[in-house]
Every structure is written in C-alpha cells, then in structure tokens.
C-alpha cells in the first residue's frame, strides 16, 4: 500500500475509496473545492456573533431569574417566583421546534444566509423588547404575558439560528479543520454567556436590590438592540455556502420544491436514524449546558444559600474556562475523531457528576471551584465537536431542515426544561444531588448514542465535494486519490471487478 494511503485514517480512506468507486476515476481539480479564506473568516465570525448574542440573553436571563421572578410574579412565594421565572424561560423552548420547522426548510430552499439574517433581526427584537416591558406593579397580569410573548419570539427565531449557523459554517469549512473552525460557533456561545453573566454580576455589585428591581435588570436586555444591528450588517455581507451553491449549480433541488409537510415526512422516513443520533447528542450536550449555565447560579443562591455575587462569580469562572478550552478541543476532534471525544466525556460524566456536585456543595473557596471546573470541562468536550458533527449527519438538500427538527425538538424536550425540572425535583424531594443524577442519566443516553455515531472527522460532508484550505491541499488530495484508485484497481479480484449490480 502506498505511504500516502497508509497514513490516512481508516474511515477517511474507506470513504474516499467508496466515492472513487462510484465515480470510476480519481479526483480532478473541479472535484475538489478550495475555500476562499476571506469568505471563510467572515462566515465563521458572523455566525459566531449570532450565537454570542443568543447566549448573552440566556446568560442574562439565568443570572436574573430570581429578580425577574420578583418583578413579574410579585404575589407568589419565593419558590413559586423562581419556578414561574424558569417556566417562562422554558416557554421559549416550546416554540423552538416550530421555528425549526419554518426556518429549516426555508433555509434549504432560499439559502442559509437569508434565513440567518432574518433570525438575527427577530432575536434582537425579542431580547430588546424584554427590557421595555413594564413591571407587574405597573400593568398587572399583562406584564408576565408580554414577557412570555417576547420569550416566544426569541425561541421561534432561535429555532432557525443554531441549526442554520452550524450548517453554514460546516459547509464553509475545509474537511481537515471542520472541528476547529466549527468550534468557534460555541466559542461565541460561551463568550456571550460569560459577557451576559459578567454584566449582571457587575450590576448586582454596583446597584442595590431595590435599584435592580426598579431598572437595573433592564439594562442588559437593552444592549441587544445595538448588538443585533452589528450582527445583521455582518450577515448581510455573507455569500451563500459552497455546498448550497453546488447543489443549486447541479439542479439538485427536488426537495426544495416540496411542501414543508412533505419535506418533514421525507426527513423522518428516510433519515430517522441520523435524526435519532442528532437528538441523542443534543440531549447530552444541552442537559449539561443548561444545568451549568441555566440552573447552577440559582442552585447556589436558592438551594445552597450562597450570596448572589459568589454564585455569579463561580459560574463565570466555569464559562471562562470553557472559552479557553473549546477551540483546542475542536482541533483535537479533527485529529482523534469526534466519537472518542464524546464517548470519553460521556463516560466521565457518569463517574464524576456526583463528586462534582459534592465539591460544589462543600464549604470554602476551592472545592466549589474545582466542582464547577469539572462540569465545565465536560461541557466543553460536548460543545466543541457538536457544530461539526451534527450537520455531517445529513445530506445538503435537507441539512438545514433536518438540523432544525432534530436539534430543536431535543433542546425543547430535554435542554431548556432542565432548570425547571431540576428545581421542581429538588423542591419536592429535598435531595440536593438531584442535578447530579440528572446528568448521569444524560451521560448514559449519550454513551449509547455515540455507539451508533458514524465518524465524520476529516471527511467531506454528506453529499458535498471535498473541501480544502489551499491549492496545495487540493493537489495533495488529487494525488492521493490517484494512488488510491490505482491501488484499488490492482487489488480488486477479477470476479469482483466484473460483477454486475443486481
């Protein structure tokens, strides 16, 4: 076997050989897409900014959950206020699948870029409007109703945001670096969360409780307006992804002519296996995500009776740690594969969830920090490969829609409900380790899912041409394909080579 072939990972060699058998020739220049670096940089930065803005809002809402409960549900007990606030938080996730069902097929028809610009406008408007809603004391029951409506606008737009952003960046990224480049999306996610939580921590330190209840809580939401304008400008400057352009050039638009209902049925019928894998990975990632980012600040203040500032700072440390780790883990997934990273972290969560929460419950400064760092490291291991792994499960023609369905249904059912369910169970049972048990169950489901996950590191996306970062890589891949094609021809038994398909 030639050295160029022997050095390739086995799954890459097998997929390349399969594609060459289908085309009955080695690659030529027109078969390998070279990504333009300026376009790639703009695609990654504009998509990451949308995630940053989305999670800025989530960070703000999670850290202000107790305050929002007092502003919009003043007549309830403290526990009921908190649960009502988390219920409003969860309501946004109920409409996420609807957003996915609308924006996903639309993204497969008219293009990723146009839909991502639309979701940016809606997200900014929903977040900004929360900062303008009068309190319950001013307009009564209309206040929580308006809050609910604003959250539903956010949820509807988010239904098309993450699936579209991951699809867009994955379709722009060279195959060898897709894990690293796609991890910048979730880098934006946790930068946004860290910025939102840091801002609330500063406001809680600077303002008194009365000032926060009066006007201080509004300030972080109002910042979303200017951020949305910047994000919209960047997304309007984007060009459509190469994979989508290739699909249009080859007139592979049969699904694009179908109705939304017909496309939904096609995806569920023909792609149910990758859809279930997608949902299992999303469950693993997002239960951990919302446990750490959505529930942990409140868990510390309401269940462990810690001060708001110490709770905020502790989770912020975890977010900064994830920001430092995530792109390195994305690069690691390009080298060792997505499956080992997911499997190792899922197994570690089953083992370490209880020790992590015992450390978080402990007195002192360092034990809680170590506990949060354990959970944050596991979360980074799930987040880093996700934006590269999930889009690779589906072909180009249905990728946006399938991501919208799989991702949003899983997040709605298991992710966004995590703070609400966990807080309810802790209140009902009095067991402060309920969050750890919840994470262990997610780890088991994730480990089972990874068993069925096909490895996609360094491979072209399903239904797309190979993508490379330079003309040198293009020529290298062409030469390798020639070696592999000749080797396969020389080592194919005559009977097999003459066999006709049945």
> Residue 370's pLDDT is what?
97
Query: How is residue 59 written in tokens?
Result: 């960070």
CB 54 within 8 A of CB 252: no
> Residue 263's pLDDT is what?
67
Per residue of the chain (502 residues), what is the pLDDT tens digit? 677 788 888 899 888 988 888 888 999 998 899 988 888 888 888 888 877 877 787 778 777 877 888 888 887 777 777 778 777 777 777 888 888 888 888 877 777 788 888 888 888 888 889 899 999 889 988 988 898 888 888 888 888 888 888 888 888 899 999 999 999 999 998 898 888 888 888 898 899 989 999 999 999 889 877 887 887 887 787 777 676 666 654 444 444 445 555 667 888 888 899 999 999 999 999 999 989 987 898 889 888 988 878 888 898 899 999 999 999 999 999 999 999 999 999 999 999 999 999 999 999 899 999 999 999 999 999 999 999 999 999 988 888 888 888 888 898 888 878 888 898 899 899 999 999 999 999 999 999 999 999 999 999 998 788 999 999 999 999 999 998 888 877 776 554 444 444 3
> Residue 261's pLDDT is what?
59
Distance CA 436, CA 480 (A): 48
Distance CA 36, CA 415 (A): 36
Query: For the CA atoms of 133, 137, 139, 142, what is the dihedral angle to 10 degrees?
Result: 70
Give me the residues paired with residue 468 across strands: 34
Which stretch of DSSP H or E encloses residue 467?
strand 467-468
Distance CA 34, CA 472 (A): 10
Q: What are phi and psi of 467, to 5 degrees?
A: -115, 130
**What is the Cα gyration radius of the chain?**
24
Which stretch of DSSP H or E encloses residue 34?
strand 33-34
Cβ neighbours for 363, distance < 8 A, ≥ 6 positions apart:
none
> Residue 255's pLDDT is what?
44
Give me the residues paired with residue 34 across strands: 468
CB 124 within 8 A of CB 53: yes
Distance CA 253, CA 189 (A): 32
With the C-alpha atoms ordered 50, 233, 245, 177, is the resulting torsion angle positive or negative? negative
CB 83 within 8 A of CB 424: yes
Cβ neighbours for 66, distance < 8 A, ≥ 6 positions apart:
78, 81, 82, 85, 298, 301, 302, 308
Coarse DSSP helix, strand, coil percentages of the chain, rounded to the nearest 5 percent: 80, 0, 20
Eight-class DSSP state of 177: G
Helix, strand, or coil (residue 223): coil
Cβ neighbours for 17, distance < 8 A, ≥ 6 positions apart:
484, 488
> Residue 253's pLDDT is what?
47
> Residue 84's pLDDT is what?
80
> Residue 332's pLDDT is what?
97
> Residue 258's pLDDT is what?
52
Neighbours of 368 (CB within 10 A): 22
- Based on the number of CB atoms within 10 Å of its own CB, is 45 exposed (0-12), middle (13-18) or buried (19 or more)? middle
Distance CA 494, CA 303 (A): 71
Q: Which of 151, 142, 143, 131 is nearest to 215 (CA)?
A: 131
> Residue 343's pLDDT is what?
97
HSE-CB at 226 with a 13 A cutoff on CA atoms is 4
Helices (H) and strands (E) in the chain, counts: 25, 2
């Amino acid at each position: 076997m030639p050295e160029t072939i022997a050095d390739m990972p086995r799954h890459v060699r097998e997929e390349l050989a399969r594609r060459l058998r289908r085309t009955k020739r080695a690659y030529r220049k027109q078969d390998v897409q070279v990504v333009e670096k300026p376009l790639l940089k703009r695609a990654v930065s504009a998509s990451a900014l949308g995630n940053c803005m989305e999670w800025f809002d989530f960070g703000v809402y999670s850290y202000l959950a107790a305050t929002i409960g007092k502003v919009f549900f003043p007549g309830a007990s403290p526990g009921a206020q908190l649960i009502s606030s988390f219920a409003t938080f969860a309501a946004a996730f109920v409409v996420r699948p609807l957003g996915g069902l609308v924006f996903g097929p639309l993204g497969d028809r008219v293009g990723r870029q146009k839909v991502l610009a639309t979701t940016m406008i809606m997200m900014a408007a929903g977040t900004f409007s929360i900062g303008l809603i009068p309190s319950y004391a001013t307009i009564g029951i209309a206040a929580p109703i308006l809050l609910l409506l604003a959250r539903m606008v956010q949820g509807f737009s988010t239904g098309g945001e993450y699936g579209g952003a991951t699809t867009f960046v994955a379709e722009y990224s060279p195959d060898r670096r897709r894990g690293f480049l796609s991890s910048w999306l979730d880098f934006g996610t946790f930068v946004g969360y860290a910025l939102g939580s840091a801002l609330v921590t500063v406001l809680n330190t600077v303002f008194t409780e009365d000032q926060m209840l009066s006007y201080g809580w509004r300030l972080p939401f109002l910042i979303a307006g200017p951020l949305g304008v910047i994000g919209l400008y960047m997304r309007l400057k984007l060009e459509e992804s190469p994979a989508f352009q290739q699909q249009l050039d080859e007139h592979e638009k049969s699904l694009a002519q179908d109705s939304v209902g017909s496309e939904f049925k096609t995806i569920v019928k023909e792609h149910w296996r990758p859809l279930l894998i997608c949902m299992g990975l999303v469950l693993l990632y997002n239960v951990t995500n919302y446990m750490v980012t959505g529930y942990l600040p409140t868990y510390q203040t309401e269940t462990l009776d810690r001060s708001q500032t110490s709770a905020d700072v502790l989770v912020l440390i975890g977010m900064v740690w994830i920001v430092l780790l995530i792109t390195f883990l994305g690069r690691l997934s390009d080298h060792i594969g997505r499956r080992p990273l997911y499997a190792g972290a899922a197994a570690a969560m089953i083992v370490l969830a209880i020790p992590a929460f015992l450390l978080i419950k402990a007195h002192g400064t360092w034990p809680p920090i170590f506990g949060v760092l354990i959970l944050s490291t596991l979360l980074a291991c799930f987040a880093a490969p996700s934006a590269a792994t999930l889009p690779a499960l589906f072909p180009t023609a249905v990728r946006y829609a399938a991501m919208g369905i799989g991702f949003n249904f899983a997040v709605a059912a298991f992710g966004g409900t995590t703070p609400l369910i966990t807080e309810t169970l802790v209140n009902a049972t009095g067991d402060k380790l309920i969050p750890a048990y919840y994470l262990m169950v997610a780890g088991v489901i994730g480990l089972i899912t990874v068993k069925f996950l096909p490895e996609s590191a360094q491979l072209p996306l399903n239904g797309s041409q190979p993508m490379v970062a330079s003309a040198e890589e293009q020529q290298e891949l062409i030469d390798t394909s020639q070696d592999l094609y000749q080797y396969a021809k020389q080592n194919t038994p005559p009977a097999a080579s003459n066999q006709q398909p049945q």
